[in-house]
Amino acid sequence: MADSPTWSPETVTDATVTATLELWGNGITLLEALKETSFLDLPDEYKKLIGQNAGEAINEKVRDILIAGTSVNYANSKSSRTALVTTDTLDLDDILDTVQSLETADAPMIVEEYVAIISPYVKTRLMKDTAFREATRYLAKDNSIFTGEIANIDGVRFVRTSTAPSIADSGSNSSVSYVEQTVILGEGAYGIARLLPGDFDVVVTPPGGHGDEYKVKTAIAWKAYLKAVILQQTFMRRLESAR
């Protein structure tokens, strides 16, 4: 007869995270005269613009939450933002140090990799860094740095966006005019609260709708009830560097 176990099951603990949903949205108005005299399919073109605006706006709203994280690394192992100088641009060593910080915190990867949100300026700086360029040359498809794709380096996938955060007039002790704020994310670093159902909607109001007694306007708008929240500070790092 087997002995009874000497251990007891663990008790799972949790923490409640609350978020107050915000209504985000934007819209445009298409006048009948413009619609009838244009060679373009304006309703279709405007819907594309609305979709692009929604994606960029939601991206920026989430970004503004993430950059408020308290886990920070600085280029060249500087101790603070004010210690950055113009030569403290991002390089491979900074990426390796930041990954070490995430690994030390046992930050889980997102499908076997961390995700770095970088600006076009940071991408250019990395590509000009000899060590990063050589690593990319061997890892990128066709051994080329001209494929428009940055390879996975030390478990980090790089996503370039023009809405990546930066700070102007940072108060640095040197003449750094812009500080780039690269965000590197692990699984579970943040979450997005949504209002279900109908957390995102595109609304088309035909002519004759609210405030259009003469039936000459078509309104196209998007709306979303969303709020991003940081769930685990140590599962993400903000990596600040000079532009």
pLDDT digits (tens, 9 = 90+) for 78-137: 999 888 988 999 999 999 999 999 999 999 999 889 999 999 999 999 989 999 888 877
pTM above 0.85, yes or no: no
Helices (H), 67-91: none
Give the residue-averaged pLDDT of 232-243.
94
Burial bucket for residue 186 (CB in 10 Å: 0-12, 13-18, 19+): buried
- Domain shared by 114 and 77, yes or no: yes
What is the rounded CA–CA span in Å between residue 225 and residue 202?
Answer: 12
Query: Is 9 among the domain residues?
Result: no
- Residue 172, domain CATH: 3.30.2320
Cα→Cα distances 22→166, 207, 242, Å:
24, 29, 33
- Domain shared by 81 and 178, yes or no: yes
- Between helix 130-139 and helix 120-128 the angle, nearest 10°, is 90
Range of the domain at 48: 22-61+192-229
